[in-house]
Amino acid sequence: MEYFVQQLINGLTLGAIYALIAIGYTMVYGIIGMINFAHGEIYMIGAFMAVITFTALGILGLSWAPAAILVVLVVAMLFTSAYGWTVERIAYRPLRGSHRLAPLISAIGMSIFLQNYVQIAQGAKIKPLAPVVQGSIPLMTSAEGFTVSISYLQLIIILLTVALMAGFTLLIQRTALGRAQRACEQDLKMASLLGVDTDRTISLTFVMGAALAAVAGVMITMYYGVIDFFIGFLAGVKAFTAAVLGGIGSLPGAMLGGLLIGLIEAMWSAYFSVEYKDVASFVILVVVLIFRPTGLLGRPEVEKV
Amino acid sequence: MSARAGAGDAPGSPRARALPVAMALREAGLAAFVMAVLAFPLIGFVLADVSGGVTLRTRFEWVALASAIVFAGRFALAIMPGRVSLPFAPAFAAAGGALSRSGAGRWIGPALAGFALVLPAMPFSDRYIVDLGTSVLIYVMLGWGLNIVVGLAGLLDLGYVAFYAVGAYSFALLALHFDLTFWQCLPLAGVFAAFFGIILGFPVLRLRGDYLAIVTLGFGEIIRMVLLNWQEFTGGPNGLSSIPRPTFLGAPLARSAPEGTTTFHELVAPLMEPVYALFGEEWGFSPMHRIVWLYYIILALALVTNFFTLRIRNLPIGRAWEALREDEIACRSLGINPTNTKLSAFAIGAMFAGFAGSFFAARQGFVSPESFTYIESAVILAIVVLGGMGSQLGVVIAAAFLILIPEFGRDFAQYRMLIFGLAMVLVMIWRPQGLVSGREPSVRLHPEAR
């Protein structure tokens, strides 16, 4: 029981991170109907921004953790958004209205490019980061002496994710930008006829997705303490699985899917095998697509001529 | 970065006509600024290892350099007249278009095949050249196989390397456990790979194109992880070694043969008597024989793939693939079963990957999961896409180009994948149909109307 609760906490932490990445996939898919293959790399760039900024702050002598984390989050979100914006501007915008596979292939190319760009710019070795937040709160202890605890870092990750999700939902539902995004999602052409600046809306969607991915990158860096240029691939596929599981195009779906994938991965590693934990999410992806391609909360998609 | 020109301001717009230089300067300044913002954190700082952690080194001169290059590039693009986005793009387009439209394609193909046929006999051919030719041909064959799936049927397969792996491992395992030879395993490997293709394809081919892409990617990774973790069966990360080499009519191409067989050079010795008489030299064993033999095997396999593709395009099934690529809904209305049609393309593509995989295992004598990563799938896809989806000639050009780039300079090898990625993006922007356009339909209602 205690072991299970501990895995639940670990899974929720992981799931929160996947959910943040999944939002980027699901929003882009909702609006322009393409899988942004480079999104995993954007997350990886966010993680590199985190290591670089933390190291820079360490050199500058800012060691008070809350301030450091705040600065890192802001810096990472800003610069990573710039990458998100540029990727859309270069690789996807010129291809709007092209044949179906073109943006997808361009996205794969962008993903390969960014991965190798970071590898060349920063080196292929793994980058370590000294723990920023330490300590944990013990929750309960079993008869055998196994203590369930939630670390401060896990608490920060979960709370920050919840706060971001809430803010994000408000942004989509209440602001003019959110309204424009929802209009574009329903019908891009009609929205542009009615005076919505679709190019700008799509750009901002990429910027927002990248900012959330940057937060995920910062948190995974603090959580695991090591990153390399290759982390974007697996995380990207898992987050995409989360988006599909929840129903692609649906924001609550992405959050739910992310949490489920995190939990499944934690439980799978705990009770079955660690070696095959990455296989688990792929298997889920395939199974979901076969039996419920619209996901848990998605709307059925009607193919039109 | 210079691709930013793409959709920018139309050159005919009033503002662009009024102040072209000022506009171009403004655009270039913006582009340079964006580049500086992008480069500042990731290029401007580099994480350097020191004892007990990392520290930061700065190299802002690189940031300045990158911005300057982007500024110059963007400025040049902005002041260029016409809708041209790159100086060499129209040349490419013209060359590619001419190649596919005129009869040039008709003689270039056979000429290349003829060149490939005589390559090992050329005076400049040494071990290195023939080996390189073999590598290029493997990718040509894989590209042609994937071309059936992506180019003809329009299914984006990102896990093609999985079938390559299935072919390689099925040959390796059959040879090691059942003592089967390469020639017995070759068809079996193809059958296994096609079987895997059907197993995977059956549930997922009903999905939309982009779902298919990610599921095939996932499948490729599953196969690789199983190969990596199923230690007792696949040898795990160490892989399988001492895989037998292909024989020539049962004669091994080795210095000495095992009990009861003769080696290749002993086998051909009687036939070579007149040659010896002429040149006065005995023809013993040479490692070159095996390399040339492998080269011809893959050449034959690749040509079979090509021939098969060219012929099947004229059969109803091949026509159905292309029709399905262009419009699935129309096909369904006309009574084509999309699932079965896609499945056949998927299985046939997988079969050729299986053949290539078993050849790969036989050539290396060793297989490990390392050879079957996602990057490999991406490289094969890049070959098909850059060459022009559906174009057989394009695949050859792209494969030769991509495999030979790193050979021209080892310093370049590190940038190989970077260039791959960039090339995929740029080709999609400037020529979405690839360097050699292959989307010419096989049949036309009115052949004279072009």
- DSSP-based three-state secondary structure for A127: strand
| pLDDT of the residue at B108 | 75
Q: What residues does each domain of chain B span?
A: 6-85, 92-430
Say which of A79, A285, A303 has its CB closest to residue B329: A303
Total Cβ atoms within 10 A of residue B161 = 30
DSSP code for B149: I
Which of B343, B334, B417, B333 lies closest to B381 in space, CA to CA? B417
Contact B392, B144 (CB under 8 A): yes
Q: Taking a contact as any Cβ pair under 8 Å apart, which residues of chain B between 122 and 181 contact chain A?
A: 150, 154, 156, 158
Cα–Cα distance for residue pair B443/B326, rounded to 1 Å: 13
Q: Do A101 and B154 touch (CB under 8 A)?
A: yes
Query: Which residues in chain A touch residue B65, judged by CB atoms under 8 angstroms apart?
Result: none
B65 touches chain A (CB under 8 A): no
Please report the pLDDT score of residue A42 as a whole number.
Answer: 94
Q: Is B56 in contact with A113 (Cβ distance < 8 A)?
A: no
CA distance B425 to chain A (A): 4
Query: Per residue in B258-301, pLDDT tens?
Result: 666 666 666 666 666 666 666 555 556 666 777 888 888 888 88
Name the residue facing B418 among A120, A125, A293 (closest C-beta).
A120
Phi, psi dihedral angles at A303 (to 5 degrees) = -85, 125
- Report yes or no: B425 at the A interface, CB cutoff 8 Å: yes
Q: What interface predicted TM-score (ipTM) does this complex get?
A: 0.85
Q: Using the structure block, give the residue that is written with the tokens 């059959």.
A: B174
Nearest residue to A115 (alpha-carbon basis) of A56, A169, A37? A37
Question: What is the structure's pLDDT at B217?
Answer: 84
Q: How many CB atoms lie within 10 A of CB A302?
A: 5
Find chain A residues with C-beta within 8 A of B421's C-beta.
109-116
Quick: pLDDT tens for A86-134: 999 988 988 887 777 788 888 988 998 999 999 888 888 888 888 888 8
Mean predicted confidence (pLDDT) in B302-326: 88
The letter for the amino acid at A41 is E
Chain A: residue nearest B325 by CA?
A100
pLDDT at B434 over 50: yes
A191-213: average pLDDT: 91
Q: Which amino acid is at A82?
A: A
Q: Are strands A136-141 and B45-50 parallel, antiparallel or unpaired?
A: unpaired
Judge: A105–B417 Cβ closer than 8 Å, yes or no: no
Of B428 and A115, which is predicted with more confidence? A115
Q: Cβ distance B162 to B228 under 8 Å?
A: no
From A37, which residue of chain B is nearest by alpha-carbon distance?
B214
The C-alpha of A299 sits at a distance from chain B's nearest C-alpha, in angstroms, of: 15
Q: Which residues, other chains included, contact A104 with Cβ-Cβ below 8 Å and sequence gap of 6+?
A: A34, A35, A37, B156, B209, B210, B213
pLDDT of A205: 92
pLDDT at site B8: 43
Percent of chain B with pLDDT over 70: 74
Within 8 A of B34 by CB-CB distance, chain A residues are 82, 86
Q: How many cross-chain Cβ pairs, A to B, lie less than 8 Å apart?
A: 181
Segment B111-123 shows an average pLDDT of: 77
Task: Check if B56 contacts A (Cβ < 8 Å).
Answer: yes
Provide the pLDDT confidence category of residue A292 given band limits of 50, 70 and 90. confident
Among B64, B78, B153, B157, which residue's Cα sits nearest to residue B380?
Answer: B157
Q: Model confidence over A140-158: pLDDT tens digits? A: 777 777 788 888 899 999 9
C-alpha radius of gyration, chain B, whole number: 26
CB contact under 8 A, B378 and A108: yes
Minimum CA–CA partner of A89 in chain B: B4
Contact of B217 with chain A, judged by CB distance below 8 Å, is answered with: yes
Percentage, residues of chain A above pLDDT 90: 34
* pLDDT on residue B448: 53
Closest in A49, A244, A285 to B41, CB measured: A49
pLDDT digits (tens, 9 = 90+) for B229-246: 888 787 778 878 777 777
Query: What number of other Cβ atoms are within 10 A of residue A32's Cβ?
Result: 21
| 3-state DSSP assignment of residue B41 | helix
Question: Distance (Å) from the C-alpha of residue A144 to the closest C-alpha of chain B?
Answer: 33
Distance CA B371, CA B380 (A): 13
Closest-CA residue of chain B to A229: B42
- The alpha-carbon gap from B17 to the nearest alpha carbon of chain A, in Å, equals 22
Residue B153 has pLDDT above 60, yes or no: yes
Q: Give the confidence band of B84 by pLDDT, cuts at 50, 70, 90.
A: very low
CA distance A63 to chain B (A): 15
Cβ(B364)–Cβ(B239) below 8 Å: no
Q: What is the 3-state secondary structure (H, E, C) of B122-145?
A: CCCCCHHHHHHHHHHHHHHHHHHH
Q: CB distance B414–A120 less than 8 Å?
A: yes
- CA dihedral in degrees (B348, B349, B352, B354; nearest 10)? -100
Rg of chain A on CA atoms, in Å: 19
Residue B425 burial (C-beta neighbours within 10 Å; 0-12, 13-18, 19+): buried
Residue A184 identity (one-letter amino acid) = C
User: Cβ of B286: how many Cβ atoms within 10 Å?
Assistant: 14
In order, the DSSP letters of B153-212 are T----S-HHHHHHHHHHHHHHHHHHH---HHHHHHHHHHHHHHHHHHHHHHHTTS-HHHH
Q: Which residues share a beta bridge with A13?
A: none
Contact A227, A127 (CB under 8 A): yes
For residue B19, give how far its alpha carbon lies from the nearest alpha carbon of chain A (Å). Answer: 24
- Angular region, B433: left φ>0, alpha ψ -120 to 50, beta rest: alpha
Across the interface, do A109 and B7 touch by the CB < 8 Å criterion? no
Q: Name chain B contacts of A59, Cβ cutoff 8 Å.
A: 55-56
Query: Which residues of A fall within a CB distance of 8 Å from B432?
Result: 95, 98-99, 102
pLDDT confidence of residue B7? 42
> Is residue B43 scored above 90 in pLDDT?
no
Of B120, B137, B127, B115, give the one whose Cα is nearest residue B299: B137
Q: How many Cβ atoms sit within 10 Å of the Cβ of residue A292?
A: 13
pLDDT mean over A268-296: 80
pLDDT at B236: 78
SS3 A136: strand
- Token pair 């603090």 in the structure block, residue: A222
* B340-372 pLDDT, tens digit each: 888 999 899 999 999 999 999 888 888 888 888
Q: Which of A90, A207, A302 to mutate to test the interface with B (most CBs of B within 10 A)?
A: A90
Q: Do the Cβ atoms of B422 and A113 come within 8 Å? A: yes
Least-confidence region, from A224-233, A240-249, B102-111: B102-111
If pLDDT is split at 50, 70 and 90, which confidence band does B249 have?
A: low
A115 and B417 within 8 Å at the Cβ level: the answer is yes
Residue A219, classed as helix, strand or coil, is helix
Mean pLDDT rounded to a whole number for chain A: 87
Query: What pLDDT is recorded for position B15?
Result: 46
Q: Is the dihedral of CA A57, A58, A59, A61 positive or negative?
A: positive
Contacting residues of A for B46, CB less than 8 Å apart = 121-123
Selected from 1.10.3470, 1.25.40, 1.20.1300, 3.30.420, the CATH number assigned to the domain covering B92-430 reads 1.10.3470
Residue B83 CB: number of other CB atoms within 10 A?
A: 9
